[in-house]
Structure 1
Amino acid sequence: MDVGVFLGSQYAPQQDIYSAFQGLVEQTRLIRDTGYDAVWLGQHFLSAPDQYLQTTPMLARLAAEAGDMRLGTNLLLLPLLNPVDIAEQYATMDVITGGRLILGVGLGYRDEEFNAFQINKKHRVGRLVEGVEILKRLWTEENVSFEGKHFTLDNVTISPRPIQKPRPQIWFGATADPAIKRAALQGDAWIATSMTEWGEMKQQVDLFHQTRKEAGLPEKVEFAKCVELFVGDDKESALREAEPFIGAKYKAYYSWGMGDNVPGNSGANSSDFADLARNRFIIGGVDDVIQDCLHHRDTLGVTHLIVRLNFPGMPMELVRRNIERFGREVIPAIR
């Protein structure tokens, strides 16, 4: 099982954004030097009053510090974007990274974003499906023509194309069952959310693999799982240290509507942080964290664990400790 780090790039209104940016560069170097396999960045627009550093320029900057690690988007909100622009930008990104790019894409869910981009949220599935088809074709073909409901191309060629052959992988973020089927049929891998409880997740993993099997697609495929993670001295103290940061982040997620499509209990009504974290986050001492990571590997079949180790408001010394402790004390035990 590979392990990558999701670098949160959302910051409070009063935070010095240049210092925050420098912190992400420092974290990338530390992640590189502590044995991780990848770095991932997400995307949101209009997060004010919070500050959110945008994905594409940040990923290009962090590539200079990433060494041999892969770099990925988790996730680009493709329905809000023009696929020709993304094909060109991320072909260039594949060049910058030396062919180590993974393009993760998702539907998006915030009304504010769709309204500001003047895109009907009801069209997001169609725009995602057409956008992915266009990306695949522009990355592998010359003289691409396409006529869909949302996009039309007439004899279009991009240059340069990506270094990776035939193209960079496109991983689908998906939470609800219909989206997981879409990920199975159209994506190169599925990125699962950190909100779904592990019991519900097992059923969705089975759905993902069964969908591919019925379609005659290779059953051996990467499966990534996002996890909020904090390594402390023991379970009790780790929960206490993590709550001000992970708990606050999830209040923001739920206020944005992120939990609306989560199967089973989304955690939105949990009044106790320990209850929210149970079978959803990985928080504890080293042995607790190893055990939960092995559950992801051996029971859920995760091939790429994407852990978030920094959270809005978390002091840098605590972020460093989390990165180092997980990298040096946990990763060797779960590979």
Structure 2
Amino acid sequence: MDVGLFLGTQHPDGADVRRAIEDHVAQTRAARDAGFSALWLAQHYLTYPDQFLQTTPLMGRLAAEAGEMNIGTNILILPLHNVVDVAEQYATLDVICGGRLIMGVGLGYREVEYQNFGVDKRTRGKLFAEQIDALKLLWETDHASFSGEHVNFQDISIRPRPLQRPRPPIWIGAAANPAVKRAALMGDAWIATSVTTYSAIKEQLGFYHRCREEAGLPRNSQFAKCVELYVAETREKAMEEGGTHIAEKYRAYFSWGMGDNVPGESGKTLSLEELAHDRFVIGTPDDCIEACRAHRDELGCSHLIVRMNFPGMPQQSVIKGIELFGREVLPHLN
């Protein structure tokens, strides 16, 4: 099982974002040296009063520090973008990172983003499906033409082309079952969200595989799961250093409406302990080994995407957690 580091790039109002970028550079170097297989970045817009560093330029900066790690989006909110622009921007990023891009895309869920980008949220599913087909076409062929309800272009070729042939992998983030079905039918892999409980994911995996089987598609061994994780020498220390920051992140998530369409409990009224149960991994190296192995052995997870830094968390705690995970946990997962 590959394990990638999911960088939390959301910062409190008033935080020095130049310093935050320096911190993310240091986190990337620490993950590279600790043996992580990939680096992942998310995307949101209009998160006032919080500050959310934008994915595409930050990926370009961090690619210089990533070494042999893959670099992926988790996720890019594809319906907010022009697919031709995405094709060229991320072809360039694939060149920058030496052909190690993983293109993670999804629908997003926040009304404020759709309203202010002028995109009708009610049509996002159909728009997204056309964009996926168009993105594959643009990356794989020259003189591409596409005629859809939402996406249209005629006889165009992008340059540069991605280094990967025929194209970078496209992984689809999904929480609600309709989105999971799209991931099954259109994506090279499904990225399961961290807010969905472990037990709900087990049920959704069965649904995912049935969707592929009914469509005549082969069983897909590529499955990624996001996990909020903090490791320390003791459980008490892990909860003290990481728990409060994770809880703050999820207060923001649920205020944005993230849990509204997720199977299982919404999480809006849960305590940290209740929220963490069956979702997060907060504990000792042995606790983390056990939980990560369960994702690998019980869920068939091929890629674990762990987030270990959260809004307001001191950089010293972040680096210490990355290094401890690399030293005491990673060797037991490969």
Q: State the TM bucket, normalised to the shorter chain.
A: over 0.9
Query: Aligned with 2:329: secondary structure?
Result: helix
Query: Aligned with 1:297: secondary structure?
Result: helix
The CA deviation at 1:240 is 2.7
Distance 2:95 2:56 in 1: 13
Over residues 38-66 of structure 1, what are the superposed CA-to-partner deviations in whole Å (9 max), with x where a residue is unaligned? Answer: 00000011111111111000001100000
What TM-score results when the alignment is normalised by the length of structure 2?
0.98
Report runs of 4+ in structure 1 exceeding 3 Å deviation.
Answer: none
Residue 236 of structure 1 corresponds to which residue in structure 2? 236
Over residues 78-137 of structure 1, what are the superposed CA-to-partner deviations in whole Å (9 max), with x where a residue is unaligned? Answer: 000000000000111111111100000010111111111111111111111111111000
Distance 1:330 1:60 in 2: 29
Instruction: Check conservation: 1:78, 1:127, Cα contact below 8 A.
Output: no
**Which is worse superposed, 69-78 or 9-18?**
9-18
Instruction: Check conservation: 1:79, 1:124, Cα contact below 8 A.
Output: yes
Instruction: Check conservation: 2:195, 2:259, Cα contact below 8 A.
Output: yes
CA RMSD of aligned residues (A): 0.9
The CA deviation at 1:147 is 1.2
Residue 12 of structure 1 corresponds to which residue in structure 2? 12
Paired amino acid for 1:256: W
For residues 215-294 of structure 1, what are the structure 2 equivalents within 5 Å?
A: 215-270=215-270, 272-294=271-293
Paired amino acid for 1:273: L
Query: Aligned with 1:219: secondary structure?
Result: coil
Aligned length: 334
What TM-score results when the alignment is normalised by the length of structure 1?
0.98
Residue 325 of structure 1 corresponds to which residue in structure 2? 324
Query: Aligned with 1:145: secondary structure?
Result: strand
Query: Aligned with 1:165: secondary structure?
Result: coil
Question: What are the ranges of 5 or more consecutive residues in structure 1 without an aligned counterpart?
Answer: none
Residue 80 of structure 2 corresponds to which residue in structure 1? 80
2:56 matched to 1:56? Answer: yes
For residues 1-335 of structure 1, what are the structure 2 equivalents within 5 Å?
A: 1-270=1-270, 272-335=271-334
Paired amino acid for 2:220: K
Over residues 256-303 of structure 1, what are the superposed CA-to-partner deviations in whole Å (9 max), with x where a residue is unaligned? Answer: 000011101132220x21111011001111111111111100001110
The CA deviation at 1:141 is 1.0
The CA deviation at 1:235 is 2.4
The CA deviation at 1:165 is 0.7
Distance 1:109 1:215 in 2: 27
Distance 1:316 1:236 in 2: 19
**Which is worse superposed, 233-242 or 94-103?**
233-242
Question: What are the ranges of 5 or more consecutive residues in structure 2 without an aligned counterpart?
Answer: none
